Amino acid sequence: MNLSILRTLWFIYLVLCCLLFHPPLHHALSFNFYNFFNSSLILNGTAVIENGILSLSRNSANNTAGGRAVYSEQLHLYDPITGNSTDFTTQFSFQISTVTEPGQDGLAFFLAPNGSLLPEYASGGCLALFSRCDDFTIPRKELVAVEFDTYSNSWDETDKEHVGININSIKSLIKQDLNQTMKDGARVDAIIRYDSKAINLSVSWSLHDGPFVSLSHRINLTKSLPERVSIGFAAGSAYFFQTHEILSWGFATELSPAVPGSTSSTFSAGLIVGCTVGGIFLVCGIVLVFVFVWRKRSRGKGKESVKNGDFMEQEIEHTGLRRFSYNELVRATNGFAEEGKLGEGGFGVVYKGFLSEFKQFAAVKKVSRPSDQGKKAGRTLLKWEVRYKIALGLASALLYLHEESGQYVVHRDIKSSNIMLDSEFNAKLGDFGLARLMDEEARVKTTALAGTWGYIAPEYASTGKATKGSDVFSFGIVALEIACGKKSTEAKYEGPHVPIAGWVWESYGNERLYEVVDERLCLKFDMKEMECLLIVGLWCAHPDQSLRPSIRQAIQVLHFDAPLPNLPKKMPVANYNEPAAPQASTDLAATISFSSINVGR
């Protein structure tokens, strides 16, 4: 079948679907600005970008300021035809600094149509949101804001700095007074979420690295705002001048399903006609595509086996393991004899074999061709709650090996691919083929380096001695992978350390730790847990083994039973000096024979 004919048929089908069944499109909006050097912002008034920081207020000749900055693309808040509404989460950091005591007035995150247009006479307490905001006889509409107010105006009904939620007015519908100041130049972290199903707008904030405080209000944004709105920041200051700077900003949307029965009859009729006519072409197209794909797969079977082989080579690269030829394994298993079959799993069949060269029995797995199970196993994006649970589960398994199993065990190959999950996402640590039993004084020294490149502690790579500390290092790398969503060697870092550790430590030293967070989480994570896991990961992956925690100490911090460690801003140099330790005896170096540890004890 000619490929051009298939493309033509597919094009005709798509055209029919577009003509007969044309539901309105809903575009997800997502971005992250860790600085504003190359940001897509529209600035107005006194707003400028200086040294990668968005400054909303600059001191003018008359000592007043009012500035706005909005994202260049509008937010599609809801679809009037389908009834679908948009949930969103925005996270940003800012700082307010007083120039002339006592300092006034504040900044706001807002949603409004044509939000880049700065109203006249909107400086000072109007926060660049409304013109002549103190005249409450003027009707206002179509603006929702969350204000961070540092000055008590006549309409505020409070004499304290406060956070408030405003709808079509400079007066807050609901507000929370603050016990600490926001205008001392310290960083303030804020998260604003809108849940269209619960019709709830909430804001959480943290001052001076303290705990987050929350404020929420039930509001249906579809009743207060048009279908498409601008999103951004506004700030104002007057006689007692202060500056307002946005340090970072992230935004992400999620489509909420429509309420049943809200779809219009026009949409339903289009759906019926479109599905009927388009379905005829679809059936014909499926038959043609099936024939084409079947032929293509038949020609590609040879290439598939080569790809599978390359994948397996990458898995054992840098491990130091002995490779056996296929003929050696055939002889060891007596031709993969059926009577030597030990078991069968998703990857293939396991046989009992005897390696005459080493005079040892071994389990030999004959991998099915093709076996894509391993490559497909980790493709589902895990939510943050599940990720943190996995990190705790892995730490618990390591605690059992190191301290609770009587004679402690060094695993030597802790990595992400050796963590298995059950149906409830409980973590199990597996693949104990490299593990060693030890006593409290012994160290394991190997002639060939075991483990996986990217997870091996620097002192282990240098001396060949495996310890509890080298296992803790590997745990730290896995913890960073869980938080960052990257493999240990994928991070963009050029230096002597494991790439992901060096990359995260650089961001930690620059006080921009959240730059390394997995963007696919779309800001949906607990900030304290994220910070905790990243810092514990760095602590465990410390280049100096004498400064790493025990796995018990790491667990205490992860459970918030102990404070976060105070790490240096710059990643230290590895230190391999340690007191001499006796070598492990032959009987203490016996290989572990079990296959996994269930963490859910």
- 473-528 tens-digit pLDDT: 999 999 999 999 988 877 665 555 668 999 999 999 998 888 899 988 988 899 99
User: Mean pLDDT throughout 164-179?
Assistant: 92
Cβ atoms within 10 A of the Cβ of 307, count? 12
Evaluate if residue 557 carries a pLDDT over 60. Answer: yes
Domains in the chain and their CATH numbers?
34-256 (2.60.120.200), 327-377 (3.30.200.20), 384-598 (1.10.510.10)
pLDDT of 275: 61
Condensed to tens digits (0 to 9), the pLDDT of residues 332-377 reads 999 999 888 887 765 678 889 998 888 888 888 887 755 455 444 4
pLDDT of 323: 79
Residues 455, 319: contact at Cβ < 8 Å? no
> How confident is residue 598, by pLDDT bands cut at 50, 70 and 90?
very low
Choice among 156, 413, 471, 518 that is catalytic: 413
d(CA 429, CA 483): 19
* Strands annotated E in 337-450: 341-344, 348-355, 360-367, 409-410, 419-421, 427-430, 436-437, 444-445
Q: What DSSP designation does 28 have?
A: -
Which of 2-11, 342-351, 484-493, 562-571 is predicted least confidently? 2-11
d(CA 410, CA 460): 12
Q: Which residues are annotated as a binding site for ATP?
A: 366
pLDDT of 440: 44
pLDDT of 193: 96
d(CA 457, CA 474): 7
Residues 216, 228: contact at Cβ < 8 Å? no
Evaluate if residue 286 carries a pLDDT over 50. Answer: yes
Condensed to tens digits (0 to 9), the pLDDT of residues 80-89 reads 887 788 999 9
User: Mean pLDDT throughout 57-62?
Assistant: 65
pLDDT of 124: 76
> How confident is residue 261, by pLDDT bands cut at 50, 70 and 90?
very low
pLDDT of 316: 54
DSSP assignment string, 30-72: EEEESSSTT--EEEEET-EEETTEEE-----TTS-EEEEEEES
Of 404, 406, 458, 456, nearest to 434 by C-alpha is 456
pLDDT of 94: 95
Evaluate if residue 593 carries a pLDDT over 50. Answer: no
Evaluate if residue 267 carries a pLDDT over 50. Answer: no
189 is catalytic: no
Q: Which residues are annotated as a binding site?
A: 366
Instruction: Please return the burial class of 76, using the count of CB atoms within 10 Å of its CB with bins 0-12, 13-18 and 19+.
Output: buried
